[in-house]
Homo-oligomer: A and B are copies of this chain.
Amino acid sequence: MKDEGKKPCTIRDIAREAGVGISTVSRAINDDPRIKAETKERVLSIVRERNFVPNMSARNLQARQTNNIGILVRGIENSFFQSMYKGFETELGRRGYTPVLHAVEEDEAIVDEALTLEREKRLKGIIFLGGKIEDPDIPFQKLVVPFVLCTVAQDLKAPLKGISTVSVDDEGESRSAVNYLIEKGHERIAVIAGKEDDQAVGAQRLKGYRGALSENGIEYDEALVSYMPKESTEFTYESGYLAAKRLLEKREKHYFSALFCISDSVAFGAYRAITETGLNVPSDISVMGFDGLPIGKYMTPSLTTMVQPVSDMVRSAAELLLDEIEDKKCVKNLFYDAQLIERESVKALKQKKRR
**CB within 8 Å of B: which residues of A?**
1-4, 6, 8, 53-58, 60-61, 66, 76-77, 79, 82-83, 85-86, 89, 99-103, 116, 119-122, 144, 146, 162-163, 237, 241, 268-269, 271-272, 275, 294-295, 297-300, 302, 324, 328, 331
Contacts and interface: CB of A to CB of B under 8 A. Distances in A.
A298 B272 contact: yes
Contacts of A275: 300
A328 B268 CA distance: 46
Contacts of A300: 271-272, 275, 299-300
A89 B76 CA distance: 11
A120 B55 CA distance: 5
The 10 closest A-B pairs by CB, nearest first: A53-B119, A57-B60, A57-B61, A82-B82, A268-B298, A272-B298, A53-B120, A57-B57, A300-B300, A101-B101
B116 A53 contact: yes
Contacts of A101: 85, 99, 101
Given A55-B122, A56-B57, A79-B79, 18 more contacts: A1-B331, A3-B144, A4-B144, A54-B120, A55-B61, A56-B121, A57-B58, A57-B60, A76-B86, A85-B103, A89-B103, A100-B100, A237-B297, A237-B298, A268-B298, A272-B297, A295-B295, A300-B300
A89 B61 CA distance: 25
A55 B116 CA distance: 11
Contacts of A99: 101
Contacts of A85: 76, 101, 103
A270 to B, nearest CB: 9
Nearest to A3: B144
A234 B299 CA distance: 20
A317 to B, nearest CB: 15
Nearest to A146: B1
Contacts of A298: 237, 241, 268-269, 271-272
5 contacts: A56-B120, A57-B61, A86-B103, A237-B294, A272-B302
A52 to B, nearest CB: 8
A6 B143 CA distance: 11
Given A58-B61, A103-B86, A144-B3, A299 B297 contact: no
